[in-house]
Amino acid sequence: TRTPVNVTVTGAAGQIGYALLFRIASGHLLGADVPVKLRLLEIPQGLKAAEGTAMELVDCAFPLLQGIDISDDPNVAFDGANVALLVGARPRTKGMERGDLLEANGGIFKPQGAAINAHAADDIKVLVVGNPANTNALIAQAAAPDVPRERFTAMTRLDHNRALGQLSKKTGVPVSEIKKVTIWGNHSATQYPDIFHAELAGKNAAEAVNDEKWLAEDFIPTVAKRGAAIIEARGASSAASAASAALNHVNTWVNGTAEGDWTSMAVPSDGSYGVPEGLISSFPVTTSNGSYEIVQGLEINEFSRTRIDASVQELVEEREAVRALGLI
């Protein structure tokens, strides 16, 4: 029998948490043969609801689920964590300035990073989902100097999956035959979904689509603003798709990308593609044996260059803002 993997989920009582926990417990995070222990972190007001979710998890009698602990103390919740999904965050509310938003999230992600540093397992892998995800990951990373910095990542897999969905809808090619789509930059409206290296059933996607107007005026804004469109249609923010993408992100990181394909993850830059070193920015990455590599040597055309630079510039400004606040 395998030893269970400790999975810590923050914001466990929220919408995404509710869509995420049942699938982690049924094997969709790490695999159908990997037992898990869940460690749920909530703020004090969220503890009761988290206990309710835990009751439902018990009632599912998932064979892989070997325990559930709930706490409002990060030092407890991250103790022995092998995988940490940082979902809880302070969302931007109307009229809130960026500085206030970053400061509020600093109050969440700095202590969580410190708790990860002090208590997590040596093989800890961190995925930040809570927004502004890239910069929240940077804050947590800075507070965890003893953890290898590449273990801190942020989620752009939902944007990646949205791009697959839109390309499939436009061309009729099933998503299973679409490869090498890339999300560059920040998980925000400035993100750049790139299809110039993508393949549709083995053919170059940009050439197969051959419609730059659709690309610039339809595809890119649809992918980048999908979250707002879902709130408008559903009356609530995307939760199931965000949870699904979080499972995909960790599953791919642990179990590897397929031959001839890559995925998108926001990871600390090594300076590739002119992205300043250390920024947590989305890149095309391949994964194997639990580690990832940024895909090298792609040719970046003018159309892509301007868009990547704009999104990276936003990340530079966010990093300056959290530096000025003393958060990193």
Rounded to the nearest 10 degrees, what angle do helices 157-171 and 240-255 cross at?
100
Residues 284-323 that bind ligand NDP (CB under 6 A): none
In the numeric block, the tokens 């009229």 are attached to: 95
Among positions 13, 138, 322, 328, the unique one binding ligand NDP when judged by CB under 6 A? 13
**Under the criterion CB under 6 A, does residue 113 sit at the interface with ligand NDP?**
no
What gap in Å lies between CA 80 and CA 67, rounded to an integer? 13
**Under the criterion CB under 6 A, does residue 193 sit at the interface with ligand NDP?**
no
Among positions 191, 238, 252, 304, the unique one binding ligand NDP when judged by CB under 6 A? 238
Among positions 65, 68, 108, 308, the unique one binding ligand NDP when judged by CB under 6 A? 108
**Under the criterion CB under 6 A, does residue 42 sit at the interface with ligand NDP?**
yes
Nearer Cβ to ligand NDP, position 80 or 276? 80
What gap in Å lies between CA 139 and CA 158, rounded to an integer? 22
| Segment interacting with ligand NDP, rule: CB under 6 A, options 163-171, 196-204, 238-246, 319-327 | 238-246
**Under the criterion CB under 6 A, does residue 158 sit at the interface with ligand NDP?**
yes
| Segment interacting with ligand NDP, rule: CB under 6 A, options 24-32, 39-47, 262-270, 308-316 | 39-47
Closest contact distance (angstroms) between CB of 192 and ligand NDP is 17
Please say if 197 is a catalytic residue: no
CB burial of residue 262 (10 Å; 0-12, 13-18, 19+) = buried
Closest contact distance (angstroms) between CB of 233 and ligand NDP is 13
**Under the criterion CB under 6 A, does residue 156 sit at the interface with ligand NDP?**
no
| Opening angle at CA 218, ends 307 and 164, nearest 5 | 80
Indicate the residue whose CB is closest to ligand NDP: 14
Nearer Cβ to ligand NDP, position 208 or 322? 322
Nearer Cβ to ligand NDP, position 112 or 269? 112
Binding site members for NAD(+): 11-17, 105, 112, 129-131
Binding site members for substrate: 92, 98, 131, 162
List the catalytic residues: 187
Q: Where along the sequence are the contacts to ligand NDP (CB under 6 A)?
A: 10-11, 13-17, 41-43, 46, 87-89, 91-92, 108, 129-131, 158, 227, 237-239, 242
